[in-house]
Chain A
Amino acid sequence: MARQDALQGSLPLLVLKLLARRGPLHGYAVATQIEGMSDETLRVEEGSLYPALHRLEEAGWITARWTTTGTGRRARVYEITAGGRRQLESEEARWKAITAAVGRILKHA
């Protein structure tokens, strides 16, 4: 529970960033990459990942299509859209502002 809370609503931001940097990924790759890059600090719950992905898709920030993987299975891969990139920029800026503010308070309080 504690580890999931660590995400704190930043999952969409992370998803957008990942897709922007690493191109089309399926849901499982998104989850493992977030976990791997954060040294397992951030664990992605499947229960929130897929609704989040679908919400992003609904908002038009990412698109999805079915592809075939190297092992010959059908997988749904997601890709960031132009609108998604703009959203990512503003989300990232907001995130930085918030963490900076929280950092300042932690430091000076």
Chain B
Amino acid sequence: MTTIKLQPNQKVANYGTTHQYQRKTGSVNYAMVITRPDIAKTTSELAHS
């Protein structure tokens, strides 16, 4: 697993894409809270951007 840097969204975010991103981040967050401490930092980064 290579690391990729978080890039700001170049396109204009509409309601749909924002919602989709939030859903994905939320799903990842759920897994992190239950059993996966290894993705804690990644989750935090995703949620902050």
Verify that A and B bind, or say they do not.
Answer: no
Residues of chain A at the chain B interface (Cβ within 8 Å): none
Residues of chain B at the chain A interface (Cβ within 8 Å): none
